[in-house]
Amino acid sequence: MQQLKITAVLTIGMCLVYLLIYSTVSYTTLFRRPSILAAQISRHHNKTRGDIIVSVQKNKDSSVIQPGSKHSRQEANIINRNKTTPNKRNTERIKQMLKRVPYNAPEILIKSQERRFDASVGEDALGSTFPPRKPYKGDFQQVDVRIFIYSAIYQIANSSVRALILVPEPFKPVSFFCILKRSTSHLGHRIKGQFQHIPPSRWGVYKNRCGFVHCPVPPNSYPEFISVLTARMSSPLNVLAVNYPGPPYNRLTRCYPAVHGNFTDVNTLVTALETSRYFGTDKFLFYNYSIPEDINKVLLHYEREGIVEMRNWKLPFPPDQIHYWGQMASIHDCVFSQLGVAKYVLLADIDEIIVPKKNVSIADLADRLLNTRKPTSQQNVYGALMFQNAFFILYENETKYMFSEKKDAKKFKMNAFLHTNRSRLNPPNYRSKLLVKPEAVNLIHVHLMEEFLPGWEMYVVSPEVALMHHYREGKDNQSLNPWSQDFTFIKYSSSLIPKIKDRLISLQSELGIQI
């Protein structure tokens, strides 16, 4: 009997032990399983990029839940029960994390975006309406070691973005990729870019030169921002606003190369601006490397009137490492930024004046000459005008030719009216300057067209129609004999000198500058 009692007690004890173990396991599983699931969701949430919301572990398979997708009620309950943002503090933390995503996105995720780029033109993606024109934005930002990007311009004709970059010389070609974004916080869509070299200047050897990265964009998709990176980079170091064309439109925009500390002559600047305006220029674009104080005041005054636009041109390396403060880069940026903005673009320096012999308006002259049909063609094929160069020397004595406004010309240092001795004409393509249709240009050079787009040709303007006067302070070895007197510009003195005089007096009064 005693033995039976002991056996019964042991049996009951063992049952209680088993029951306790079973209860413990069930309790642990009951409360631990949701926490494991929440942790899994949290890990996937930390990988969230753009339109991916959360990933749920289900029968060893991961299902991705996207905006607008349909889910079972059970899945919805799991998501709602295991949110990773139980309070506002965590919600804000995750929002901040997602804002930083585009700059730290792993390569594998970017590649996944690349794979689905063509299908992303729906919900996720870029704006589907053409953006309004905004103030032009350009600034040097890093792409890779010794590679910098300046601007991004949307090209309507081929639905692409043209990014201007500076590269080292010599440059070993690398693969470029573009990330098109609808906002700065958007992960964007990665596509392969096409690199295009801009020819070097032909004057000297430099450590840097320029080129383009062309980024294709799907039809009816309009990125607001773009980043460019090389194949070895896991994430971009830059983000630029995409510049779009739009009104107001100009008939003629004039582009100047980078202005730097060597230029301080306010009178020459105002003479150049007012003369060019008289001859039909609507807008002037200046690239600001280091503009002296008084020159800056004058240009800002014109900018407030909508006549001048200044663009930041702070090179990312010393200016002697690239030709003439990056002139080849700035002229291409200027020309292509005027696509859909200006009918014509004139490229010339401050000391150069295009003087028409008959037509007062250079834009009218361009309308007439560029619409001339080539004898062998029934179509209009001319995409640019070339103006030949002649030097006018300023260090010689003033002209003896008398005209009614000569006294004011001397008083206000309007030197272009006071020097009429000019060199022999330089031939076409030699120190010439161009007026172009932006849509006709593929690559341009300082004095000639490097390459037209197919179907376009150059029209060389006869010196009997218009001539480019190049006013030089010092002797130039390219000034050719024989010399002769040219009084063409003086015939505009009665109209121009009073305008220049009034503007100089006004600037002196309003800005306190010396003239």
**For the domain that residue 507 is a member of, what is the CATH number?**
3.90.550
Are 280 and 225 found together in one domain?
Answer: no
Q: Which residues pair with 391 in a beta bridge?
A: 470
Question: What percentage of the chain's residues is helix, strand, coil (to nearest 5)?
Answer: 30, 30, 40
Residue 374: the pLDDT is 76
Are 340 and 374 found together in one domain?
Answer: yes
Which tops the pLDDT comparison, 367 or 58?
367
Mean pLDDT of 331-339: 98
Q: How buried is 342 (Cβ within 10 angstroms: 0-12 exposed, 13-18 middle, 19+ buried)?
A: buried
* Total domains in the fold of the chain: 2
> Quick one: pLDDT band at residue 219, thresholds 50, 70, 90?
confident
- Asked if the structure places residue 71 within a domain, the reply is no
Mean pLDDT of 212-231: 96
Are 305 and 431 found together in one domain?
Answer: yes
Are 503 and 409 found together in one domain?
Answer: yes
- Asked if the structure places residue 325 within a domain, the reply is yes
Are 215 and 264 found together in one domain?
Answer: no
Are 236 and 258 found together in one domain?
Answer: no
- Look up the domain containing 217 and give its range: 141-243
- Asked if the structure places residue 51 within a domain, the reply is no
User: Is pLDDT above 90 for 43?
Assistant: no
> In angstroms, rounded to a whole number, what is the distance separating the alpha carbons of residues 487 and 271?
17
> Quick one: pLDDT band at residue 342, thresholds 50, 70, 90?
very high
40: which residues sit within 8 A by CB, 6+ positions away? 55, 56, 57
Q: Which of 217, 243, 269 is the last residue of a domain?
A: 243
Mean pLDDT of 405-420: 97
> Which spans in 118-165 are helix H?
none
**Which two three-digit tokens encode residue 481?**
């004999």
- Asked if the structure places residue 92 within a domain, the reply is no
The 3-state DSSP class for residue 52 equals: coil
Instruction: Look at 75-84, 206-215, 471-480, 497-506 and tell me which has the smallest mean pLDDT.
Output: 75-84
**Which two three-digit tokens encode residue 144?**
């890779």
- Asked if the structure places residue 45 within a domain, the reply is no
Cβ atoms of residues 472 and 258 within 8 Å: no
Cβ atoms of residues 267 and 394 within 8 Å: no
Are 400 and 417 found together in one domain?
Answer: yes
Q: Which of 243, 261, 293 is the last residue of a domain?
A: 243
Are 254 and 226 found together in one domain?
Answer: no
Which phi and psi angles does 369 have, rounded to 5°?
-75, -40
176: which residues sit within 8 A by CB, 6+ positions away? 143, 192, 193, 194, 195, 213, 228, 229, 230, 231
Kindly report, residue by residue over 348-406, the tens digit of the pLDDT.
999 999 999 987 899 999 999 998 877 777 677 899 999 999 999 999 899 999 999 99
Nearest to 388 by CA among 478, 475, 453: 478
Residue 405: the pLDDT is 97
**Which two three-digit tokens encode residue 45?**
């949430």
Kindly report, residue by residue over 269-311, the tens digit of the pLDDT.
999 999 999 999 999 999 999 999 999 999 999 999 999 999 9
- Asked if the structure places residue 78 within a domain, the reply is no
Percent of the chain with pLDDT over 70: 76
> In angstroms, rounded to a whole number, what is the distance separating the alpha carbons of residues 471 and 473?
7
Nearest to 259 by CA among 201, 334, 312, 332: 312
**Which two three-digit tokens encode residue 499?**
């305008």
Are 231 and 255 found together in one domain?
Answer: no
| CATH code of residue 186 | 2.60.40
User: Is pLDDT above 80 for 326?
Assistant: yes
Cβ atoms of residues 193 and 228 within 8 Å: yes
Instruction: Look at 7-21, 88-102, 362-376, 468-482 and tell me which has the smallest mean pLDDT.
Output: 88-102
> Quick one: pLDDT band at residue 173, thresholds 50, 70, 90?
confident
Nearest to 448 by CA among 428, 465, 464, 463: 428
> Quick one: pLDDT band at residue 2, thresholds 50, 70, 90?
low
- Asked if the structure places residue 121 within a domain, the reply is no
User: Is pLDDT above 70 for 57?
Assistant: no
- Asked if the structure places residue 105 within a domain, the reply is no
Average pLDDT, the chain: 81
Are 415 and 468 found together in one domain?
Answer: yes
Neighbours of 136 (CB within 10 A): 17
Are 207 and 271 found together in one domain?
Answer: no
Q: Which of 192, 216, 243 is the last residue of a domain?
A: 243
CA distances from 372 to 117, 353, 464 (A): 45, 24, 17
Percent of the chain with pLDDT over 90: 66
**Which two three-digit tokens encode residue 484?**
């002769």
User: Is pLDDT above 70 for 21?
Assistant: no
Which tops the pLDDT comparison, 135 or 69?
135
Which tops the pLDDT comparison, 402 or 2?
402
> Quick one: pLDDT band at residue 46, thresholds 50, 70, 90?
very low
Are 256 and 366 found together in one domain?
Answer: yes
